[in-house]
Amino acid sequence: MWNNNKICNLLNIKYPIIQGGMVYNSGAVLVAAVSEAGGLGLLGSGSMRPEELRSAIGEVRSMTDKPFGVNLPLLFKQAGESLEVALEEDVKIFFTSAGSPKRVANKLKEAGCTLVHVVASPALAVKCEDAGCDAIVCEGFEAGGHNGREELTSLVLTQLCVDAVSIPVISAGGIATGSQMAAMIALGASGVQIGSRFAVTEESSGHLNYKQAVVDGTDTQLVLKKHIPVRLLQNKFRDMITEAELGGADRQKLEQILGTGRARSGMFDGDVVEGELEIGQVAAQIKDIPKVAEVFNRLITDYCEAVKRLGA
Amino acid sequence: MWNNNKICNLLNIKYPIIQGGMVYNSGAVLVAAVSEAGGLGLLGSGSMRPEELRSAIGEVRSMTDKPFGVNLPLLFKQAGESLEVALEEDVKIFFTSAGSPKRVANKLKEAGCTLVHVVASPALAVKCEDAGCDAIVCEGFEAGGHNGREELTSLVLTQLCVDAVSIPVISAGGIATGSQMAAMIALGASGVQIGSRFAVTEESSGHLNYKQAVVDGTDTQLVLKKHIPVRLLQNKFRDMITEAELGGADRQKLEQILGTGRARSGMFDGDVVEGELEIGQVAAQIKDIPKVAEVFNRLITDYCEAVKRLGA
């Protein structure tokens, strides 16, 4: 089924399923499990110090000999240092986000690496192609965590991106089932990147309280649009932000309420009341905390059902 | 291809393609053209006085003997009167929105009519099934015009609705190509409702200035969330609203800026500066003003391409 798939061929994987490199959720155990299952695991370097990233790379290698990669948010303070560490450790696949891929494209191409950048608009997709990226991830409004200002949904954004560029497009945001995966492949995407569904698995490094809050909850909203837009599950903290925003709070006031360390306290330390619980709209679909291998079984079975529905 | 399609069978149409009953755009000429092409045209009664609706129904019948229906926003002042007119004129298909279908379900079922209600959440989809609706339209965040507060995108909302109800689901919002249609069918929708793409056709009753503004523009945003959320194309009016909202304007202040008649002046009278230009995110995909028959040709051709992509 995937013999001619461009993403499978580019990344040397069995299924065109990428696990989003999420902060606090994408440690070595999750990454190795996804790569072992036939997808591509991505270490979330955005919540690791460079030396923690080095350890995590080694841990992944101790658990799998399959391909894996590193997600690198280019605007993070330690991005340059983390990039050097990953190159020293001979990482060959980089998914970059939050910034311009031009900054790193030459260096990574010279090192023989594959470079994929995350975009929220077709205009940035074109810039990525021009910069030499091998593929793009287009991430829609429904995605969890940090999000673009364009608010284009995966259905529209994916269509715009496949029409705008010749490099393969990986669709992200709103994908937790094989049917949703099939929908994106029907649009012309070559693969999918899945975050939330993998965050709520046994192998994810997120806190159990956070995973259980997602299982119990359904309501997410994109907030902090005057700061950096982020999609959060409803809790006391998000309600405080929403109330401030409705009252017209400016960026400075919002940053004051946000403070520091909220993402870590919510997702890693398990404070589901005062912490930031990043998750996509598919939270409403997530009803259990399975193993990664089980998620893959469901995705592939449901994908085949979806293909049948199209009566092809 | 559509022999066993539930929506084709329910509505007695060739393709499971419904034209959204949009204010100021969905007059008799558009409705007849869509029904003649093999879809289902819907008169947009939300911008017609009851006697205008009566005339429009007669006009449609003078142009086609194919099935068509009426869209009825239940919260509109004249909804009751318009419903009576449509029943007097022997209309058999009703798409209701903006309100509870319980209000009208018994009356319409007794009259032997087909009833479909528009929803923005799976919870309301279940209520529609319980109320006796024959199908639902689930309309995502990317749709043009008035929109739900849940902000669920078509990709997530459609998945949630097909999982929640047994009656057929028609997906709306973000659909302007056959690939986008195939994506929704892959998810389990039985059909699609298309608004924006039909608003920008020769046969739509919208003003040419409005159609041209959509062809030229790409940027839409959901605004007026403290009033009734509505997705609008960027223009001077929308910028005024956005600025007021960022400053924390309350509902009363926003209603003062909005005034009355903005939708008519923008879409019907062609004031593309001060008027309200309702359109979906697919505005970014719309690059011409074709005939309805040509839209159908493109949809079906591209749908078949999309099915091939799934390699089924």
Tens digit of pLDDT for each residue in B200-238? Answer: 999 999 999 999 999 999 999 999 999 999 999 999 999
How far apart, in whole angstroms, are the C-alpha atoms of residue A52 and residue A66?
A: 21
**Whether B19 and B133 share a structural domain:** yes
Q: Do B310 and A311 touch (CB under 8 A)?
A: no
Flag whether A105 is in a domain: yes
Tokens 């869509």 sit on residue = B34
Q: pLDDT tens digits, residue range A238-268?
A: 999 999 999 999 999 999 999 999 999 999 9
**Whether B217 and B177 share a structural domain:** no
Report the domain count for chain B: 2
Query: For residue B285, which residues of chain A lie inside 8 Å, CB to CB?
Result: 156, 159-160, 163
Flag whether B262 is in a domain: yes
**Whether B130 and B63 share a structural domain:** yes
**Whether A94 and A162 share a structural domain:** yes
B64 CB burial (10 A radius; 0-12, 13-18, 19+): middle
Task: List C-alpha distances in Å: A14 to A36, A89, A94, A245, A266.
Answer: 10, 24, 18, 45, 34
Flag whether A1 is in a domain: no
Of B76, B66, B72, nearest to B32 by C-alpha is: B66
A264 CB burial (10 A radius; 0-12, 13-18, 19+): middle
**Does position A117 have pLDDT exceeding 60, yes or no?**
yes
Check: CB of residue B148 under 8 Å from CB of residue B167.
no
Q: Do A184 and B182 touch (CB under 8 A)?
A: no
Flag whether A240 is in a domain: yes
Task: For B213, list phi and psi in degrees, rounded to 5.
Answer: -60, -35
Check: CB of residue A159 under 8 Å from CB of residue B180.
yes
Q: What contacts B309, CB < 8 A, 6 or more positions away?
A: A185, A186, A188
pLDDT tens digits for chain B (312 residues)? 898 999 999 999 999 999 999 999 999 999 999 999 999 999 999 999 999 999 999 999 999 999 999 999 999 899 999 999 999 999 999 999 988 999 899 999 999 999 999 999 999 999 999 999 999 999 999 999 999 999 999 999 999 999 999 999 999 999 999 999 999 999 999 999 999 999 999 999 999 999 999 999 999 999 999 999 999 999 999 999 999 999 999 999 999 999 999 999 999 999 999 999 999 999 999 999 999 999 999 999 999 999 999 975
**Whether A63 and A157 share a structural domain:** yes
**Whether B56 and B75 share a structural domain:** yes
**Whether A86 and A131 share a structural domain:** yes
H or E element, residue B151: none
How far apart, in whole angstroms, are the C-alpha atoms of residue A61 and residue B149?
A: 46
**Whether A132 and A233 share a structural domain:** no
Token digits of residue B223: 């605004």
| CB within 8 Å of chain A, chain B residues 167-196 | 173-177, 179-180, 182-188
Domain coverage including residue B231: 208-282
**Whether A21 and A128 share a structural domain:** yes
Cα B119 to chain center, whole Å?
11
How far apart, in whole angstroms, are the C-alpha atoms of residue A84 and residue B162?
A: 47
**Cross-strand bridge partners of residue B231:** B145, B222
Which range has the worst mean pLDDT, A6-10, A99-103, A212-216, B153-157?
A: A99-103
**Whether B123 and B245 share a structural domain:** no
Flag whether B173 is in a domain: yes
H or E element, residue A281: none
Cα A257 to chain center, whole Å?
26
Counting every residue, how long is chain A?
A: 312
- CATH number at A21 reads 3.20.20.70
Flag whether A229 is in a domain: yes
How far apart, in whole angstroms, are the C-alpha atoms of residue B37 and residue B41?
A: 9
Q: How are beta strands B17-19 and A169-172 bridged, if at all?
A: unpaired
Token digits of residue A259: 């403070």
A153, A246, A312: residue with CB nearest B141: A153
Taking the Cβ of residue A142 and every Cβ of chain B, the question of whether any pair is shorter than 8 Å is answered with yes
Taking the Cβ of residue A18 and every Cβ of chain B, the question of whether any pair is shorter than 8 Å is answered with no
Can you tell me whether residue B87 is helix, strand or coil? Answer: helix
pLDDT of residue A312: 52
How far apart, in whole angstroms, are the C-alpha atoms of residue A139 and residue A116?
A: 13
Flag whether A63 is in a domain: yes
Token digits of residue A305: 């059902």
Flag whether B1 is in a domain: no
pLDDT of residue A99: 87
**Whether B45 and B171 share a structural domain:** yes
pLDDT above 70 coverage of chain A, percent: 100
DSSP state of A278: B
Q: Do A156 and B282 touch (CB under 8 A)?
A: yes
**Whether A238 and A143 share a structural domain:** no
The shortest C-alpha distance from A102 to chain B (Å) reads 26
Q: Do B183 and A281 touch (CB under 8 A)?
A: no
